Chains A and B, each alone.
Chain A
Amino acid sequence: MISVSRATAVARKEIRQLLRDRLTFGMIIGIPLLQMTLFGYAINTDVRHLRAGVADLADTQLSRMLIADAEASQVIDVVERTHSAEELRALLRKGTIYVGVVIPRDFERRVQSGHRVAAQLMVDGSDPLVLQSARGLLDLPVPGRARRVPAAGAARTFELRAYYNPERRSEVQIIPGLIGVILTMTMVLFTAVAIVRERERGNLELLINTPVRTIELMMGKIVPYIAIGLIQVSLVLLVGSIVFRVPIRGSLVDIYLSAFAFILASLSFGLLLSTVARSQFQAAQMTIFFLLPSILLSGFMFPFDGMPRAAQIIAEVLPLTHFVRMIRGVVLRAATIEEVGSEILPLAIFFAFTLAIALVRFQKRLD
C-alpha cells in the first residue's frame, strides 16, 4: 500500500533539506544561469577581433587603406607590425597572433594587373573556427580596384595560407587541449575529496593531533597526484598520436613541463575546495562548478578572441586557458617552452595563491 501522506512527508523533508543545503540550492539555480550566460552570450562561433600581425612591405597609401578596411571588418585587430613575413611566422608560432597579413613590395602593380592576388593571409589553422573567420577577408575589395562582384578571371585580394593544420581536422585541435580538460576534472576532484574524506571517516581527528604540519599534509596529498597526472598526459598523447594521428611537433620535455605547471595549479585548487567542502559529495559538486567554465571559456572549445571582454577576463584566471595555449603551441606549432613560457607565470600565481588560502583555511583544530 502506497501512503500518500508518507510520501508527502518525505518530499517535505527533502525540500527542507535542500533549502538548507545552500550549495546544492545554489547549483540548482546557478548552473542553468551559468549555462545560459555561457552559451547565449560568451560563446560565439562567429569569431571576430582575431589578433593579427601586419608586415606591410609596400607601405603605400593603398596598402594602408587595405589594412584599415580589414580592421574595419572587425575580423582582425592589428596588434603587431613587423618588417618581414618571417617575423610574422614566428609570432604565429608563439601564439601571439592568429592571423598574419603580408602585403608584398609590388602590391600596387599586383592590384593594377587585376589577375594576381594582391596580398597574403597567414592563418593559424589549428583552430578551424579561426580559419573560417579569416576566410571572410579573402574577397575584401581593394580600395583602388573598384568592383562589386569579382569579374571572371579576376584574382582575389588575398591568398590564404593555413599553417599547422592544413587538413583542418578538428581532432588535431581538440586533443592537446583535452589533456587539460581531463586533468582539470581528475586533479581537482581527487584533491578536493582528499581532506574531506579524512574528515568524514574520522581519520582527521587523529591526524591533527599528531605533529604533522598542515603544509606536510597538503604536500602529501598533492605529490601522488602529480604522478597520476603525468601518466594521464602520457596516455592522451599516446592515444592521440596513434589513434587520431595528432602530430607531436614540439619536444616531450616541454610538453611535460607545461603539464607539470598545470597539474600543480589544479591540485592546489582541489585542496582549497577540500577545506571548504563539508562532505565528499559537496567537493564533487564544487569540482563540476569549476570544470564547466574551464571547458567553455579556456579556448578549448571556442577561440578566446571570439569572446567578449568580460568572459576573457574570467578566462585569464582559469588555469586551463593558459595550459591550452601552451600545449597547443608546443604540440601543434612546435613552439618551445621559452616561446610559450609567459603562460607559466599565471599558473604559478594561481598555484601559490590557492595553496596559501588552503593553508590558512585548514586549521589543526576541530572548531
Chain B
Amino acid sequence: MSDAFAIEAKGLTRRFGDLTAVDHVDLSIPHAQIYGFLGPNGCGKSTTIRMLCGLLMPSDGAATVLGLSIPREAEKLRSKIGYMTQRFSLYEDLTVEENLEFIGEVYSIARRRRHERVEELLELYRLRDRRQQFAGTMSGGQRQRLALAAATLHEPELLFLDEPTSAVDPQSRRDFWESLFALCDSGTTVLVSTHYMDEAERCHSLAILDRGALVAEGPPHKLTAEIAETVLEVQAADLRAARSALDGISAVESIAQLGSRLHALIDAELADPAETVKRTLAEAGVEARVEQVEAGLEDVFVSVTRQRGEESRS
C-alpha cells in the first residue's frame, strides 16, 4: 500500500483530566522527509509522538501512519517504525552489544542478519570500541548514538525521535544530524521533536506547537517569508534605552534581544516602520542603526506563539 503521506492526522486530541495536552492537531507528513516538531517543553510534542506510535489513546481525532489506522492497527505498525524516546530507555546494566542484540531479537531479525546489522551500526555510529561497555557508563553523545542504532536496527520506514539531542554537546548534535540526513536519503521518513531553532531550521518541513495546538506549519524558509510582521533589527550602544523607547510604540508587538542587537516585530499595517522607529529613537535621544531584515525562525516562533497567547487572553 502506497499512500501520499507517511503520516496523516485529523483533529488529533489528547486530554489528561482537565488539561488538553494536544488540541485538534492536523498533520500531513510526506515520505522520506525530515519533519520537525518545534515547541517549548510541555507543548504537546511528546504526547503527539506517543499517539502516532500508538502508545497513547487519542481522546479525539484520528491518524493514519504508514497507511495503518492508529491506534487500532498499532501492533502492525511496530515493526515498521522506530522510536527513540526522550529519556534513555535502553538497559543501563547491559553492554552496547547486548542491548543491540536484544533489540534485534525483539524485532525477530534472523541471527545472521542481526549480527550483520549490529556490526554495521557499531561501525556507522562509532561504537565499535565500546561494544563491551555498559550503556549506563556512557556519555550523553554515546548513549544517543546507541539509542539511534537501536531505533534503526530493524530498518524502519518511519523514525520517531523525541528530543534526541537534549543531552548532547554541539559536535555530537552536528554528527547526529548528518546521520539523520543519511537515513532520510535512503528513504526513511523522520519525525523529530526539538526545542532548538538551529535544529528546526535543518528540517525539510516544520510544525510549531504551542500549548497543544499547531500554530504554524511549512518549510522553514516559507515560514520565515510569510511572517505576519515586519522585522526590524536595531543596533545601539545603549540597548536598554533603545528597548524602553521602542516599548512606547503601539505598533511594536514584541522585542527580543539577540546578542548586541534587538529584533522588533512590528505590525505590518504600520506604513514605513523603519522610519517610525528611527524617529522615535532619535526623539528619545538614543543613537541607533535600524534596518529591516528577513525574519529568522526565532522571529516566526515569537510571532506565532504570541498571537495565540493574545487570543487566549482576550
Binding site for B on A (CB under 8 A): 201-212, 364-367
Contact = CB atoms under 8 A, between A and B. Distances in A.
14 contacts: A201-B92, A202-B85, A202-B87, A203-B89, A203-B91, A205-B55, A206-B89, A210-B78, A210-B106, A211-B79, A212-B106, A365-B54, A366-B55, A366-B56
Contacts of A366: 50, 55-56
Interface string B125-168: 00000000000000000000000001000000000000000000
A206 B83 contact: yes
A206 B74 CA distance: 14
Contacts of A365: 54-57, 71
Given A204-B89, A205-B85, 20 more contacts: A202-B87, A202-B89, A203-B90, A203-B91, A205-B87, A206-B83, A206-B89, A206-B90, A207-B89, A209-B55, A209-B81, A210-B103, A211-B78, A211-B79, A212-B106, A364-B55, A364-B75, A365-B54, A365-B57, A366-B55
Interface of B: 50, 53-57, 71, 74-75, 78-79, 81, 83, 85, 87-92, 103, 106-108, 150
Contacts, number: 52
Q: Taking chain A's interface residues, is the majority helix, strand, or loop, or is none over half, making it mixed?
A: loop
Contacts of B56: 365-367
Contacts of B103: 210
Contacts of A207: 89, 106
Contacts of A208: 55
Contacts of B78: 209-211
Nearest to B14: A367
Contacts of A204: 89
Given A365-B54, A366-B50, A211 B106 contact: yes
B50 A206 contact: no
A365 B107 CA distance: 18
B85 A211 contact: no
A207 B81 CA distance: 13
A209 B83 contact: yes
B55 to A, nearest CB: 5
A211 B54 contact: no
Contacts of A211: 75, 78-79, 106-108
B148 to A, nearest CB: 13
Contacts of A212: 106
B278 to A, nearest CB: 54
A259 B126 CA distance: 49
Nearest to B90: A206
B85 A206 contact: yes
Contacts of B54: 365
A201 B136 CA distance: 11
A208 B89 CA distance: 11
Contacts of B57: 365, 367
B63 to A, nearest CB: 15
A90 to B, nearest CB: 52
Contacts of A202: 85, 87-89
B77 to A, nearest CB: 9
A210 B83 CA distance: 9
Nearest to A206: B89
A106 to B, nearest CB: 75
Contacts of B55: 205, 208-209, 364-366
Nearest to B108: A211
A206 B56 CA distance: 13
Nearest to B91: A203
A44 B266 CA distance: 87
Contacts of A206: 83, 85, 89-90, 150
A324 to B, nearest CB: 36
A366 B21 CA distance: 15
A11 B85 CA distance: 37
A220 to B, nearest CB: 10
Contacts of A210: 78, 103, 106-107
B17 to A, nearest CB: 12
B138 to A, nearest CB: 15
Most buried by A among B78, B88, B90, B108: B78
A206 B79 CA distance: 13
Contacts of B75: 211, 364
Contacts of A203: 89-91
B25 to A, nearest CB: 17
Nearest to A209: B83
9 tightest A-B CB contacts, nearest first: A206-B89, A211-B78, A209-B83, A210-B106, A202-B89, A202-B87, A366-B55, A212-B106, A205-B85
Contacts of B106: 207, 210-212
A365 to B, nearest CB: 6
A25 to B, nearest CB: 23
A365 B88 CA distance: 18
A111 B35 CA distance: 101
Contacts of A209: 53, 55, 78, 81, 83
Nearest to A365: B55
A210 B91 CA distance: 15
Contacts of B88: 202
A280 to B, nearest CB: 15
A366 B58 CA distance: 12
A241 B264 CA distance: 87
Contacts of A205: 55, 85, 87, 89
B12 to A, nearest CB: 14
